Amino acid sequence: MEIGFGAGEHLTAMARAHPEVGFIGCEPFINGVARLLGFIDQYQLDNVRIVDGDAALLLDKLPDASIDRAFLLFPDPWPKRRHHKRRFVRPSNIAAMARVLADGARWRMATDDAGYCRWMLAHLADHPEFEWLVRRPSDWRCRPEDWPPTRYEGKALAEGRAPAYLGFQRRSRQVTADAANGLIKGGEAHI
């Protein structure tokens, strides 16, 4: 699932590389939807479905643990404080993503806005249902090889802005439940 796929270049590359996987792309802007439809036709992709609207509305309709990977790449940072409520990364959407992501599923995010990067990390780095997949600086400073570039990434780099590539993994529901019930402390089970 890609949230706000822009012109669809990342989604197209992923769908072409993995024809056995079904992809859902959500985009509220008609120009982006039209571009992706052009790619679908050009490459005869039959594994892409499009939601032409707000991804949050789709999340409410998806079954629990039904998504194996999600992408939020270079979203509008809504930098003004009064607009922060429009950011996709917010408690209600994080809870919805935790519900629809399968155990072990990855949620990849990228931004070239330092403020939004801090916002994402503040909301997700210590979240009980997500693990931040970072072990060294290159884990968030360099785009992983299996992560196709986007037009917005190219624009950011051309303008001298350094993107951050954040990867989170949905923790096991059992481990999360055990931790909430006090059965896991310091990484060890206490039964």
* Distance (Å, whole) CA 168 – CA 156: 22
Q: pLDDT tens across 69-82, in order? A: 999 999 987 778 88
Between 3.40.50.10070, 3.40.50.150, 3.40.50.2000, 3.20.20.70, what CATH number should domain 2-189 receive?
Answer: 3.40.50.150
Determine contact, residues 60/85, Cβ cutoff 8 Å. Answer: no
Task: Give the dihedral of Cα atoms 187, 89, 107, 19; nearest 10 deg.
Answer: 160
Domain ranges of the chain: 2-189
Nearest to 20 by CA among 50, 39, 48: 48
Strand partners, 69: 106
**Pick from 18-27, 116-125, 148-157, 173-182: least confident:** 173-182
Q: What percent of the chain has pLDDT over 90?
A: 75
Determine contact, residues 77/111, Cβ cutoff 8 Å. Answer: yes
Nearest to 154 by CA among 9, 3, 2: 9
Phi and psi angles of residue 72, each rounded to the nearest 5 degrees, phi first: -135, 95
Q: What is the pLDDT of residue 176?
A: 59
The whole-model pTM stands at 0.87
pLDDT at 144 over 90: no
pLDDT at 61 over 90: yes
Six-digit token string for 93: 């959407």
Residues labelled as active-site residues? 76
